[in-house]
Chain A
Amino acid sequence: MPYWGADEAVAELRRALANRHAQADRLRYRGVLLRVIRCMARGVDVSGLLPEMAKASATADPVQKKLVSLYMCSYAPRQPGLALLAINTLRKDCSDPSPVLRGLALRSLCNLRMPGIQEYIQQPILNGLRDKASYVRRVAVLGAAKMQKLQGDAEVDGVLVNELYSLLRDQDPIVVVNCLRALEEILRREGGVVINKPIAHHLLKRMSDLDQWGQSEVLAFLLRYKPRSEEELFDILSLLDEYLKSSSPSVVMAATKLFLVLAKDFPQVQIDVLIRVKGPLLAACTSESRELCFTALCHVRQILGSLPGHFSSHYKKFFCSYSEPHYIKCQKMQVLCELVNDENVQQVLEELKSYCTDVSAELAQAAIFSIGSIARTYTEQCVRILTELLGLKQEHIISAVVQAFRDLVWLCPQCTEAVCQALPGCEETMQDSEGKQALIWLLGVHGERVANAPYVLEDFVENVKSEMFPAVKMELLTALVRLFLFRPAECQDILGRLLYYCIEEETEMVVRDRGLFYYRLLQAGVEEAKRVLCSPKSEPSLGLLADQTEQPVNNWASEFNTLVPVYGKACWTVVTANWATEPHFRGFPCAPPVTAGTESLILAGNKEVLQVHSDVGGLTLIPRANLTAEEFEKTWLSLDVSCQQVLPWHGAAQPDTIQAALQVVHIQTIALSKAGAQPWKAYLSAQDESGCLFLAELLLEAESSEMQVSVKQSEERTEALQLFISVLRTVMGTILGLKS
């Protein structure tokens, strides 16, 4: 089908839809509609059938109605005029005696998402909110949220909001939850739905009527409520106690998070909760669903960051199974590294050792690095295991072991002797650059203890011409110079050859420069070179830094049961750094990252012009005053507009150029619309030396020749404000100049 010409397919379907015989036979007609939907699902453009489909919506058959509404949702926005035909039928259905049909029609109506639909759906939604069937009320409540979104920036309808607040007391639990969701969306600008004391207690009372989805969502909404007194807090916690035992992991986790957040001043309560949730979490870690298992493991690691001994007695639960996918095994190994203690170290190492010979090279290496990190505490045992592994003569294993050794001797100098004895022979099978660098480094720093060190390095020097990686060559240079200082007689000749090669023949400039540097350093005398190169060989105190200090639970309580632990904190920061998901900026999907290409749009000359302006007349904007989108939103909402200005502009905005230009003058772009969006908006922030924050909104209406700028300031300083605006004006002027 997909390879069949789409036009032919559409023409054929149109004939089938118009066929009177088919129209008379309900089942046959349904078959034709199914074919239309199938084409649509596969990505064939069947928008041409809209008139026929609009006609087909006038039917008593509920299945046919559903099929048509599926079609309408996708194509109505493209041909609003024709879709009006279907709207009339749907509006009629909204007053059908059957509640199922009423609900269905109302949902289809609200899903049409075409401009100008609001006037048609407003009345049906208001009627729906007062419908006697709960099914219709559920649809209507969410319909109100959909309508608000279609209206965009329009004023929030106070009457509607009040009606929704009163529906929080509805009989039907799904209506209640839907009301929370709808209010949250409608009131996003004001910070979402307000959970005051009566509402919070009402929701707590209704919790038992809800299904698992409702429960976990209400638990999330309750995070907003701040109990007035300690007594009230503990009342709430005891009411919620049973949800820690729920059979649904999502309810358990939502409840745990609520406990952790509410009890932020009671560390003992937090620890009790984490102990109680251990069982469900372990069950999820061994669940049949791998995806659930993965999510749970990520959260286990989060907890271990604060309570290292928390899962130690259950270490066996984290042993890998043969059939598990790679990503779960890796997570489990990391958990094992973190929970190791005196009692289980033997078994854990035994288990990790068996992974080192795994078929998958990545997994084997990950296991070796895990043993390497346990070695910081249990050095002797681990070094013995690692040395044994060298006997396997497997390339990837040796490379990983040597890298683990390198990282280890730096932190645990007591194992240097054992490591040095294990090194001879490793060079024979070493192929990859990482492994070579580690080996060369070890030979350079601890070469005086390895008998054949100069000869191993000599082999590397012989083959230096065919070496691919500059990093290996640099490592080799450093190592050989270091070794020369200790064993001059054996190394002098080799070093001479290497320096000659690096200076005379090497094409890689980094390596050449490094070679020259060492050459000149040696010219300055051996004593001088020693002073520069022979720094301490190990730094055990770094171990304390490398070991993660235990974080307090409150550091991550608000991130529990979100996507943060799943991606990992560091990765999450990267992921969210260049886009704003904050509610305020929804609708402008995301700021495209600045690509290298756009940077060049701003010519060097212009850059200088901008640079000069960035610290004009006493205003110096500091670079990297990074404000997160969240902080930005909070500050933006709390401040009043200090100044509104209009800048000349023409044509469409080019987000990349603007972002890059603002970067030059140290104005940070928090969020901006995609190119061509109408209206186009951007949110900016900057900070000056005195710590005064400037927040700005750029607004470009469609077809307008002016850009509106609103600036807010954290401290009232008119002079600085004027200067900031002049900087902004210069930047925009420069960009405009570039364009024309």
Chain B
Amino acid sequence: MLSQIFILSSKGDRLVYKDLRGEAAGSSMDLTDTFYRKITALPRDQAPVFMVHEGLHFVHVRHAGLYFVATTGHNISPFTIIEFLNRLVTLIHDYCGALSEKTISLNFALIYEMLDEMLDYGYVQTTAPDVLRNFIQMEPVLSKAFSLLDLGSVGLFGAETQQSKVAPSSATSRPVLPPHGDQGARNEVFLDIVERLTVVIAANGTPMKVDIQGEIRLKSYLPSCPEMRIGLTEEFCVGKSELRGYGTAVRVDECAFHSSVKLDEFESARVLKVNPSQGELPVMQYQLSDDIPSALPFHLFPMLERDPLGRLCVYLKLRCDLAPKSQALNVRVQLPVPKGVISLSQELSSPEQTAELQPSTKAIRWVIPRFQGGSQLSALFKLEIPGLSPASLLEVGPVNMSFELPMHTCSGLQVRFLRITAPSPALPHRWVRYVTHSDSYAICL
């Protein structure tokens, strides 16, 4: 059972605080201050997620810079607490829109009301959005900036528009649950296939580790819940042994479905049936490692040498191996360089790219806003390093990249159809979006 729950801003300001069992010793301010003091003064070798202070365990998750903290005096399941906090974050996001200090403080009364229904005496009662909807009376307050800016980004479905600066996966940052009396205005369903790619490539170019974490997320704005049928690629198979068809199969190592998904047609036709309630639902999660069907999206050809002036020249050639129609967005290349570096001169192959030396981490950060499939970019960095020794070349690398690939899945998983069976007055808009993103694509030099 939980004793208190509170939300702090990144600066330690208290946004929401609820004492669930009346067990708080001393004033509530002390408790949040204690937590913030502890977390900011924590030695680096200690993990911050679980902390203990005078018999009280503080457990927190961080989202959007905010601390969502639960406390307990009992030795209870850590998985349950973390999962509950994550669930709370998703629900606040569903109700109030994109998380920020401002959203929370504008909607604090709504959040208190949610907490009241979700937890009684420190015990979780329910977190199902369709149940909570019946009890929650307050209406979300939307911050102003949101309605203007985000309407623009709602239209960004991958390649449909050119200005897809915002990751398509986060396009729907407005609240899912509409204010009362405003129903039917948004008759939309989003089905997102989001994959997270983690790659390590050895110095000789062979992939050492390829790991894909995928998720199919359904985000429904529909007030009632008709049955939805999601058809996946027919040649979809799970596990290593089960290979059907010839070559084109989409294979994953393991997958897990949400408990509300009906799987009676999955074996025969790869159809998932689900009755979604309003809000976000993780329909399916899957993982795939090592053996991926398509080529890796990027290849790097590095060259290191010393020029006659004693500078270290790093020549990087980066090739994007996506199909020519696809592109990668927000590509960031991070290259650690020897600590003794004092200056950097650069030659980049096109003007929209930028590169800079980050003094704090001693790394070059090369930013490519847009990278067309099949093309190749290059960069030449000349580094001034006094006392350059052969050993300090060991300090160069590994290169780490982060990027987004809209309309692309590395596993090859596709959605054949998304049908809504129950008769509905107006056919809702259905959107299927794909995105692969990676924040850890490491290449050894």
Q: Are B83 and A174 in contact (CB under 8 A)?
A: no
A562 at the interface (CB under 8 A from B): yes
Chain B residues near A564 (CB, 8 Å)? 75
Docked-complex contact B336 and A581, CB < 8 angstroms: no
Task: Decide if B82 touches A322 in the complex (CB within 8 Å).
Answer: no
* Complex Cα spacing A533 to B362, Å: 47
| Interface: B143 (CB within 8 A) | no
B50 A563 Cβ-Cβ under 8 A = yes
Can you list, as one digit per residue, whether each of B394-409 has a CB less than 8 Å from chain A (1) or not (0)? 1101101010000000
CB distance from B210 to the nearest CB of A (A): 9
Interfacial chain B residues near A211, Cβ < 8 Å: 126-128
- One digit per residue, 1 when the CB lies within 8 angstroms of any chain A CB and 0 when it does not, for chain B 99-142 equals 00000000011001100100011011111100000110110000
- The segment out of A232-240, A290-298, A522-530, A699-707 that lies at the interface is A290-298
Q: In the complex, which of the residues B50, B116, B290 contacts A66, with contact meaning CB atoms closer than 8 Å?
A: B116
Q: Per-residue CB proximity of A40-65 to B under 8 Å, as 1/0?
A: 01110000000000000000001100
Q: How far is the CA of A290 from the CA of B85 in the complex (A)?
A: 12
Give the contacting residue for A288; candidates B84, B116, B196; CB below 8 A.
B196
Q: Smallest CB–CB gap between A125 and chain B, Å?
A: 13
Residues of A within 8 A of B363 (CB): 359
Determine the chain B residues whose CB is within 8 A of the CB of A579 once the complex forms: 54-55
Q: How far is the CB of B280 from chain A (nearest CB, A)?
A: 14
Instruction: State A9–B125 Cα separation when bound (angstroms).
Output: 36
User: Cβ of B47: which chain A residues have Cβ within 8 Å of it?
Assistant: 294, 327, 330-331
Q: Which of A260-317 contact B (CB under 8 A)?
A: 279-280, 282-284, 286-292, 294-296, 298, 316-317
Given A142-B120, A292-B83, A330-B45; A41-B17 close (CB under 8 Å): yes
> Chain A residues with Cβ under 8 A from B395's Cβ?
357, 392
Across the interface, do A138 and B137 meet the contact criterion of CB distance under 8 Å?
no
What is the bound-complex CA distance between A70 and B257, given in angstroms?
A: 38
Whether the Cβ atoms of B112 and A70 lie closer than 8 Å is: yes
Given known contacts A247-B256, A319-B209, A322-B334, is B108 in contact with A41 (CB within 8 Å)? yes
- Report if B46 contacts A (CB, 8 A): yes
Contacting pair A289 B61 (CB below 8 A): yes
Interface contact B22-A113, CB-CB below 8 Å: yes
**Is the beta-carbon distance between A291 and B49 smaller than 8 angstroms?**
yes
Find out whether the CB atom of A562 lies under 8 angstroms from the CB atom of B76: yes
Contact flag A292-B79 (CB < 8 Å), given A247-B256, A247-B285, A317-B211: yes
B84 touches A213 (CB 8 A): yes
Q: Are B287 and A283 in contact (CB under 8 A)?
A: yes
Residues of B contacting A: mostly: mixed
Q: A581–B72 Cα gap in the complex (Å)?
A: 11
Contact assessment for B138 and A63 in the assembled complex, using a CB-CB cutoff below 8 Å: yes
Q: Does A437 contact B (CB under 8 A)?
A: no
**Hey, what's the 0/1 contact readout for A103-138 against B, CB within 8 Å counting as 1?**
000010001010000000000000000000000001
Residues on B with C-beta less than 8 A from A357 are: 336, 394-395
Interface size classification for chain B: 35 or more
Q: In the complex where A291-B85, A327-B46, A566-B78 touch, is A575 in contact with B121 (Cβ < 8 A)? A: no
Question: Cβ of A388 < 8 Å from any Cβ of B?
Answer: yes
Of A113, A392, A674, chain B has the most CB atoms within 10 Å of the CB of A392
Q: Main SS of the interface on chain A?
A: helix
B77, A253: Cβ atoms closer than 8 Å:
yes
| B208 part of interface (Cβ distance < 8 Å) | yes
Distance between Cα atoms of A352 and B320 in the complex (Å): 28
Q: Complex: how many Å from CA A107 to CA B80?
A: 24
Whether B394 lies near A295 (C-beta < 8 A) is: no
Query: CB of B176 within 8 A of chain A?
Result: no
State how many angstroms separate the Cβ of A145 from the closest Cβ of chain B: 6
Chain A residues positioned under 8 Å from B59 (CB to CB):
291
Chain A positions within 8 Å of B121 at CB level? 142, 145-146, 181
For window 199-223 of chain B, which residues contact chain A by CB distance below 8 Å? 200, 202, 208-209, 211, 213
> Are A589 and B85 closer than 8 Å at their CB atoms?
no
* A740 at interface, CB cutoff 8 A: no
State the CA gap A67–B112 with chains docked (Å): 9
Measured between beta carbons, the chain B residues less than 8 angstroms from A245 are 256
A312 to B85, CA, bound (A): 31
Given A63-B138, A254-B77, A351-B200: A393 in contact with B439 (beta carbons within 8 A): no
Considering the chains assembled together, what is the distance between the CA atoms of A563 and B44 in angstroms?
A: 20
A292→B82 contact, CB < 8 A: yes
Report yes or no: B75 in contact with A319, Cβ–Cβ below 8 A.
no
Within 8 Å of chain B (Cβ to Cβ): is A347? yes
Please determine whether B254 and A216 come into contact, CB atoms closer than 8 angstroms: no
* Cβ of B74 under 8 Å from chain A: yes
CA A322 to CA B363, docked complex, whole Å: 13
Cβ of A561 and Cβ of B77 under 8 Å apart? Answer: yes
Does B289 belong to the interface (CB within 8 Å)? yes
Q: Is the CB of A250 within 8 A of B54?
A: no
| Known contacts A322-B440, A589-B54; A288 and B213 CB within 8 A of each other | yes
Asked if B237 CB lies within 8 Å of chain A CBs, one says: no
Residue A38 is within 8 A (CB to CB) of chain B in the complex: yes
- Residue from the list B113, B289, B394 in contact with A391, Cβ < 8 A: B394
| Cα distance, A25 to B55, chains bound together (Å) | 47
What B residues does A63 contact at CB under 8 A? 137-138
Question: Which residue of B is nearest A559, CB measured?
Answer: B75
A678: interface (CB < 8 Å): no
Q: Is A555 an interface residue (CB 8 A)?
A: no
Chain B residues with Cβ below 8 Å from A111 are: 22
**Residue A326 CB within 8 A of the other chain:** yes
Contact partner of A392 (CB less than 8 A), chosen from B123, B256, B361, B394, is B394
A38 to B13, CA, bound (A): 13
Q: Which residues of A contact B198 (CB under 8 A)?
A: 286, 321
Complex CA–CA separation, A351 to B80 (angstroms): 33
Q: How far is the CB of B279 from chain A (nearest CB, A)?
A: 15
Pick the contact of B256: A41, A280, A388, A589 (CB < 8 A). A280
Residues of A near B60 (CB, < 8 A) are 291
Confirm or deny: A362 has a beta carbon within 8 angstroms of a beta carbon on chain B: yes
**Pick the contact of B442 from A296, A322, A330 — CB < 8 Å?**
A322
Task: Please name 16 further chain A to chain B contacts, defined as beta carbons within 8 Å, in addition to the given A37-B109, A253-B79, A359-B336, sorted by A numbering.
Answer: A66-B113, A66-B138, A174-B125, A177-B123, A178-B120, A211-B127, A216-B79, A247-B258, A249-B83, A288-B196, A291-B86, A354-B442, A354-B444, A391-B389, A392-B391, A566-B50
8 smallest A-B Cβ distances: which pairs? A321-B440, A391-B391, A590-B55, A327-B47, A322-B400, A250-B79, A213-B124, A250-B80
- Chain B residues with CB under 8 Å of chain A are 1, 14-17, 19, 22-23, 25, 27-29, 44-50, 52, 54-55, 57, 59-62, 73-80, 82-86, 108-109, 112-113, 116, 120-121, 123-128, 134-135, 137-138, 196, 198, 200, 202, 208-209, 211, 213, 254, 256-259, 282, 285, 287, 289-290, 334, 336, 339, 361-363, 389-392, 394-395, 397-398, 400, 402, 439-440, 442, 444
User: 8 pairs across A/B with beta carbons < 8 Å?
Assistant: A247-B256, A290-B62, A321-B442, A330-B47, A561-B79, A563-B57, A575-B52, A590-B55
Interface residues of A (CB under 8 A from B): 34, 37-38, 41-43, 62-63, 66-67, 70, 74, 100, 107, 111, 113, 138-139, 142, 145-146, 174, 177-178, 181, 211-213, 216-217, 220, 245-250, 253-254, 279-280, 282-284, 286-292, 294-296, 298, 316-317, 319, 321-324, 326-327, 330-331, 347, 350-351, 354, 357, 359, 362, 366, 388-389, 391-394, 561-564, 566-567, 575, 579, 581, 586, 589-590, 674
